[in-house]
Amino acid sequence: MLPIDPTKKISFTRHICDGDLVVVYERHDNMKAIKVCQGSVLQNRFGVFKHSDWIGKPFGSKVFSNKNGFVYLLAPTPELWTLVLSHRTQILYIADISFVIMYLEIVPGCMVLESGTGSGSLTTSLARAVAPTGHVYTFDFHEQRAASAREDFEKTGLSSLVTVGVRDIQGEGFPDEFSGLADSVFLDLPQPWLAIPSAGKMLKPDGVLCSFSPCIEQVQRACDSLRSNFTDIKTFEILLRTYEVREVKMDCSQGDEAKPGSILPRKRPQRAIEKGNEQDKLSSQTVMARPCSEAKGHTGYLTFARLKCLS
Amino acid sequence: MSQNNSQSDSIQNPRVTWEGCSVLLDINDGDRLVFARLSAGSTLKIGNKTYSLQPLIGCPFGSLFQVENGDQGHCLARFVPSIEGNNIQEKGDFESQDEIKDNRALVDNNKAQSLTGEEINAMRSQGATGDEIVEALIANSATFEKKTLFSQEKYRLKKQKKYAPKVLLRRPFARSICEAYFKKYPARIGFLRVDALSLLLSMANVSANSDVLVVDMVGGLLTGAVAERLGGTGYVCSTYLGSTPYSIDIVRIFNLSNEICKRIVRSPLTDLSLSQNGTSEQIHQQGDEINQQGDEINMECLSNNQMSSSVGMEEISPTENDTSDVISETTVSPVNKTGKSTKAGNKAPKQAIDLWKENGFSSLIIAAPELDLWSLLKDLLPLLANSAPFAIYHQYLQPLATCMHNLQLGKMAIGLQISEPWLREYQVLPSRTHPCMQMSAFGGYILSGIKICSSS
């Protein structure tokens, strides 16, 4: 997934090979990660796709099924992975993820601790941020979940950047061997206040901690426990509003049939363009945008704090 | 420990300052933010006094400094808070005792404080510390005891800011630089809020070893933020229309190592375009000449800056002081230029350009509020490798909507989305948790997508 190996980097000359991980894009809300395997097929509502047809094509290609249905084959990125990974837990999405990476001040070479691993959505982005020389140590108390996460990192080629441990961080804290070595710590735990003292021990002075909690009561208790050793404590909520864009025909005619000022949405704007404007002389085409009517109203609160500098 | 860090090249993000390093000084909890370059001669003005920044050299980032009366007069001295800060006890008190008091007895008649300005000045000249003055003010306040513990703390903080200002030493990172500019000079960074910047970097999959093409008309903030993520691998190529590169002055505020700076290059769009292989020699020559000119112009700009304020020191401060009355003057004495000046933004080497022509860029980020977006994108998209992600920032929705529509019609990209981040901060205190009263209502729009192979 990451260009750690320069030969795997996407380019005009890089083609899909046997064994590559590709993201099969049907629609923006329907994608799937697939390991390309000579002799294998993908079957979906568009028909049957032979993997052998994909090999040798560049990433970003449109490929066809036996019924002439099509999908696009994309190179995986942490953002796409977040959309296709198998949900073993509730996961973090791009708005929270990008903000966490920025606010934790993670740059190449950093050492980052995370708990819990969950489905590995954030972990994938953490790995990208610390690459090529840093490392992410992530812990989950659920043995099976940790194993699945490990398999995923193997699949996405991040194993050299991520180590998954099985450990109850709320109960036992982070392992002592990381004491004073972490640049940043991320907690997504039901009772973060139990892990905060340990997180404080792990961080370098001035290192940043982030705790993600869906409920304000968790935030309240986390902040209480942060106040003794941390400073610059801030809590945020970040959401995304998305917009839909369409070309609409604004009717300017004074005729009887058309009501003045009415907006006639066009489902297939390209047709209108191809036809030309000749018969639409009395109307104008305008591209308009409006917020999508559905959105995530809440994901979680992000609380950040900086370890006090005492030496 | 501090000595070892003077060579910042070996360490990606040193946590201790060195002579010549760039720092962000946070004065009184964000009331004033000053970017400075540390040297023996650099100074900072707080109120009507000038303090040497020398004591800050070799200190860990995150250190807190306070004004102290030393042998040679006032100076900044390291202030180490105790672990068991008074916070804890106070916060405990808030919960238990708070409820009984309210503001019924407070009358706003400006007579609560019996200590006069002359008396305070007299205390000062006798060498009283700021903290002592704050205590005296509290002792002479008729209403202090009647306040709730919460507002007592507020009062103390307000007086502390005025009479015992604190300076927090912070690392200049994409995060802190973006926040500082957004707070004080948002127009200089095209109103790009930190959450929007984070999204741009994620959506464009900026990662080590990638070759990122940027159009940065937000002062270099974007270029610097990308370079920070590349960590001295790959390239960030800042391209421009015409013959004069856009300013990337903000890059100098980042503490980027030489290794990282070498990976920040600039190239006019005409040099990058795939079609111009034939006459490229000529164009290169022309380009060189113009570039040299451009550089000279840039240098002039810099020296002008130096006259007015200083090189490598960016003062970010409100012109009028809303909350804190201590800061009447915001000028900062010039810092000498001896600090290492790594040159970021050299002309992209021919080899690199050839490689990009052969392989394509791995991602594209545009933050160009002043250019026609669609015509720009039409030229830039072919330079991107297939399946490469791109992210475009704009403070207005319409240009992005038009771009998105055209990309859809031309079947040039998929996964297209316009998003607008919404960021709300919370005050979290025992029994007093609520969203902050003031918030930024707008952080910009982003169009993101993935380039696909052209169908032909």
In this predicted structure, what is the pLDDT of residue B86?
Answer: 45
B51 and B109 co-located in one domain = no
Residues from chain B contacting residue A97 (CB–CB below 8 Å): 202
In this predicted structure, what is the pLDDT of residue A107?
Answer: 95
Name the most confidently modeled range: B65-69, B131-135, B264-268: B264-268
A53 and A87 co-located in one domain = no
In this predicted structure, what is the pLDDT of residue A257?
Answer: 54
Partner-chain contact A238 B174, CB within 8 Å: no
A22, A73 Cβ separation under 8 angstroms: yes
A47 and A13 co-located in one domain = yes
Strand partners, A247: A287
Q: Which domain holds residue B205?
A: 174-451
B258 and B182 co-located in one domain = yes
Partner-chain contact A109 B13, CB within 8 Å: yes
Q: Which domain holds residue A32?
A: 6-76
Does A58 reside within a domain?
yes
Give the closest of A216, A231, A238 to B433, CB-based: A216
B229 and B378 co-located in one domain = yes
Residue B453 Cα, gap to closest chain A Cα (Å): 5
A108 and A64 co-located in one domain = no
A77, B201 Cβ separation under 8 angstroms: no
B112 and B39 co-located in one domain = no
- The whole-chain average pLDDT of chain B stands at 80
A231 and A106 co-located in one domain = yes
A134 and A193 co-located in one domain = yes
pLDDT in tens, B136-154: 888 888 788 877 777 888 8
N residues, chain A: 311
B152 and B36 co-located in one domain = no
A189 and A259 co-located in one domain = no
B309 and B351 co-located in one domain = yes
A208 and A279 co-located in one domain = no
Does A1 reside within a domain?
no
Residue A104 Cα, gap to closest chain B Cα (Å): 9
pLDDT in tens, B41-81: 999 988 888 899 999 999 999 999 988 776 667 788 888 87
pLDDT in tens, B292-312: 433 333 333 333 333 333 333
Is A241 at the interface with chain B, CB within 8 A?
A: yes
Give the pair of three-digit tokens for residue B285.
Answer: 């020559």
Residue B22 Cα, gap to closest chain A Cα (Å): 16
Partner-chain contact B401 A289, CB within 8 Å: yes
A260 and A198 co-located in one domain = no
A153 and A227 co-located in one domain = yes
A124 and A213 co-located in one domain = yes
Amino acid at B121: N
B361 and B419 co-located in one domain = yes
Q: Is residue B88 predicted with pLDDT exceeding 80?
A: no
pLDDT in tens, B416-445: 999 999 999 999 999 889 999 999 999 999
In this predicted structure, what is the pLDDT of residue B12?
Answer: 55
Give the closest of B209, B404, B415 to A245, CB-based: B404
Mutation target for A interface from B33, B416, B428: give the one with most A CBs within 10 A.
B428
B247 and B321 co-located in one domain = yes
The CATH number that applies at residue A149 is: 3.40.50.150
What SS3 string covers chain B? CCHHHHCCCCCCCCCECCCCCEEEEEECCCCEEEEEECCCCCEEEECCEEEECHHHCCCECCCEEEEEEECCEEEEEEECCCCCCHHHHHHHHHHHHHHHCCCCCCCCCCCCECCCHHHHHHHHHCCCCHHHHHHHHHHCECCHHHCCHHHHHHHHHHHHHHHCCEEEEECCCHHHHHHHHHHHCHHHHCCCCHHHHHHHHHHCCCCCCCEEEEEECCCCHHHHHHHHHHCCCCEEEEEECCCCCCCCHHHHHCCCCHHHHHCEEEEEHHHHCHHHCCCHHHHHHHHHHHHHHHHHHHHHHHHHHHHHCCCCCEEECCCCCCCCCCCCCCCCCCCCCCCCCCCCCEECCHHHHHHHHHHCECEEEEECCCCCHHHHHHHHHHHECCCCEEEEEECCHHHHHHHHHHHHHCCCEEEEEEEEEEEEEEECCCCCCEECCCCCCCCCEEEEEEECCCCC
B124 and B229 co-located in one domain = no
Low-confidence ranges of chain A (pLDDT < 50): 258, 271-277
Selection from A148, A33, A145 nearest residue A79 by Cα: A33
In this predicted structure, what is the pLDDT of residue B154?
Answer: 84
Q: Is residue B164 predicted with pLDDT exceeding 70?
A: yes
In this predicted structure, what is the pLDDT of residue B443?
Answer: 92
The number of domains in chain A is 3
Partner-chain contact B428 A220, CB within 8 Å: yes
By percentage, how much of chain B surpasses pLDDT 70?
A: 76
Mutation target for A interface from B182, B207, B356: give the one with most A CBs within 10 A.
B207
B60 and B127 co-located in one domain = no
A55 and A144 co-located in one domain = no
Asked which of B50, B81, B112 is the last residue of a domain, the reply is: B81
pLDDT in tens, B340-386: 445 888 999 999 999 999 999 999 999 999 999 999 999 999 999 99
pLDDT in tens, A123-139: 999 999 999 999 999 99
Partner-chain contact B208 A4, CB within 8 Å: yes
Asked which of A46, A76, A106 is the last residue of a domain, the reply is: A76
Does B189 reside within a domain?
yes
A103 and A218 co-located in one domain = yes
Does B140 reside within a domain?
yes
In this predicted structure, what is the pLDDT of residue B4?
Answer: 40
Does B169 reside within a domain?
no
pLDDT in tens, B194-251: 999 999 999 999 999 999 999 999 999 999 999 999 999 999 999 999 999 999 999 9
Asked which of B162, B187, B209 is the last residue of a domain, the reply is: B162
- Cα Rg of chain A (Å, integer): 25
Angle, helices B86-97 vs B149-163, to 10°: value is: 150
